[in-house]
């Protein structure tokens, strides 16, 4: 079978489709799958309430497969907990499931040792601890939730038409195209996860891949597949650019074996010889924001991206909001690494990442890696027609 329906260089990037698939399969995907299971990377700090700044709650918050199971008490890393004894008020159950208990026993010092610097690309306020909770991402896989219809459509419409200029258009400059492609690539990845883990039969609770949906939403649109690969390489470039920082960061959860494992997996990923040889610079950010209007354009796009980030509070399904917020924060972190540090604007700035930004960045890279793998494998299985990029 033809395993490579996409050929040539990924547009605006520096590596070939075929190479990306090989690297992903041999190196990135296996390492990332292990990395996101470590305690440091599986707990995401997030404010999950619906407080949409753009329109009133549309009543979509209580969909069945949408609820998020937050951290069960016994699973939470010891160092994250407050020393006090748990009271019944600290635990709140959703849907009556024991594993869905919400642990609100946040230790304000849990994220100490990490900077709390603001990210100019996102709207989330990380320091607002009172309203934040930790979610175990492994208990809440991104998959089909049943969230659809006007509520979901309104978000995507707002993301594309209000914030992200229409594409393709001759008027768009390079930087605006890139913002569009990042959003479209993320959208493809979300659709791929819905298709990869779909509720096939409600009566018997049977979950599995829905290849028709994958084809209808992603594979039959070559640009959506291209944008997925582009977004993957863009985020990979950010991760490798921040290698020095990520290598020396403290992955401390109090479980030294697991923390050492996280550090070792991170090192293997950052300095993998195959990656260095085959795709040393997955995306060349130095060519952006050139010319007189560069700084102004950057501020404009930064504002657009902040709006997209704020729109995630309008997603009317808790689990979709969780993954939407995480992945947009991950993209915002990639943008911060590539464009807000050591650029012309702040030549003396050193990179500072918040703990949550690192968690979002690596989980986003893992999601994109899963999507690229699934698309690559399924595109090879599907009959030809409409799927070549």
Q: x-or-dash pattern for ligand FAD, window 219-248, by CB under 6 A?
A: -----x------------------------
* Choice between 172 and 281, CB closer to ligand FAD: 172
- Going by C-beta distance under 8 Å and a sequence separation of 6 or more, which residues neighbour residue 369? 24, 28, 29, 32, 232
List of E strands, the chain:
43-46, 91-92, 102-103, 133-136, 198-201, 206-208
Residues 332 and 302: their CA atoms lie apart, in Å, by 9
- Which of the stretches 36-44, 45-53, 144-152, 340-348 binds ligand FAD when contact is defined by CB under 6 A? 144-152
By the rule CB under 6 A, 121 interacts with ligand FAD? no
CB of 71 to ligand FAD, least distance (A): 19
By the rule CB under 6 A, 320 interacts with ligand FAD? yes
387 binds ligand FAD (CB under 6 A): no
Q: Which of 103, 124, 126, 142 binds ligand FAD (CB under 6 A)?
A: 142
- Asked if 64 touches ligand FAD (CB under 6 A), the answer is no
- Residue from 6, 41, 114, 147 binding ligand FAD (CB under 6 A): 147
* Residues 6+ away with beta carbon under 8 Å from 220: 386, 387
What is the spatial distance between Cα 249 and Cα 245, in angstroms, rounded to a whole number? 6
Contact call for residues 207 and 196 (beta carbons, < 8 A): no
- Residue 278, Cβ density class (10 Å: 0-12 exposed, 13-18 middle, ≥19 buried): middle
Q: Which of residues 87-116 bind ligand FAD (CB under 6 A)?
A: none
Residue with tokens 């001759």: 170
Which candidate, 329, 356, 357, places its Cα nearest to that of 106?
356
Among 188, 263, 309, 356, binds ligand FAD (CB under 6 A): 188
Q: How far is the CB of 285 from ligand FAD (least distance, A)?
A: 22
Instruction: Name the residue nearer to ligand FAD (CB basis): 213 or 351.
Output: 213
Give the interface size with ligand FAD as a residue count (CB under 6 A): 22
CB of 157 to ligand FAD, least distance (A): 7
173: left (phi over 0), alpha (psi -120 to 50) or beta: beta
Binding footprint of ligand FAD on the chain (CB under 6 A): 142, 144-145, 147-148, 152-153, 155-156, 184, 187-188, 190-191, 194, 217, 224, 315, 319-320, 323-324
């Amino acid at each position: 079978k033809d395993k490579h329906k996409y050929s040539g260089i990924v547009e605006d990037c520096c590596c070939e489709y075929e190479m990306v698939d090989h690297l992903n399969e041999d190196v990135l995907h296996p390492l990332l799958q292990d990395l996101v299971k470590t305690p440091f990377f599986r707990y995401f700090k997030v404010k999950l309430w619906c407080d949409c700044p753009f329109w009133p709650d549309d009543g979509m918050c209580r969909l069945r497969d949408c609820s998020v199971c937050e951290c069960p008490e016994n699973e939470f890393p010891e160092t994250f907990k407050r020393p006090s004894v748990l009271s019944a008020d600290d635990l709140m159950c959703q849907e009556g499931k024991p594993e869905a208990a919400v642990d609100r026993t946040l230790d304000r010092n849990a994220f100490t040792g990490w900077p709390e610097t603001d990210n100019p690309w996102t709207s989330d306020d990380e320091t607002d601890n009172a309203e934040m909770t930790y979610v175990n991402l492994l208990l809440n896989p991104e998959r089909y939730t049943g969230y659809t219809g006007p509520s979901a459509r309104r978000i995507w419409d707002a993301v594309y038409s209000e914030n992200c200029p229409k594409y393709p258009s001759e008027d768009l400059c390079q930087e605006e195209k890139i913002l569009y492609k990042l959003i479209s690539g993320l959208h493809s990845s979300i659709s791929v996860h819905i298709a990869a883990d779909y509720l096939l039969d409600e009566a018997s609770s049977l979950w599995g891949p829905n290849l028709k949906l994958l084809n209808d939403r992603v594979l039959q649109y070559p640009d959506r597949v291209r944008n997925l690969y582009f977004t993957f390489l863009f985020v990979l470039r950010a991760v490798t650019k921040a290698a020095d920082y990520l290598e020396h960061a403290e992955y401390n959860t109090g479980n030294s074996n697991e923390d050492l494992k996280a550090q070792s997996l991170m090192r293997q990923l950052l300095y993998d010889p195959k990656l260095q040889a085959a795709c040393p610079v997955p995306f060349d950010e130095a060519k952006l924001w050139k010319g007189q209007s560069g700084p102004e354009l950057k501020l404009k796009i930064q504002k657009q991206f902040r709006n997209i980030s704020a729109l995630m509070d309008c997603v009317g399904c808790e689990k979709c909001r969780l993954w939407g917020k995480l992945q947009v924060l991950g993209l915002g972190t990639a943008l911060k690494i590539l464009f807000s540090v050591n650029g012309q604007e702040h030549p003396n700035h050193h990179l500072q990442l918040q703990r949550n930004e690192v968690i979002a960045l690596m989980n986003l890279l893992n999601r994109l890696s899963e999507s690229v793998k699934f698309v690559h494998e399924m595109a090879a299985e599907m009959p030809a027609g409409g799927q070549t990029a």
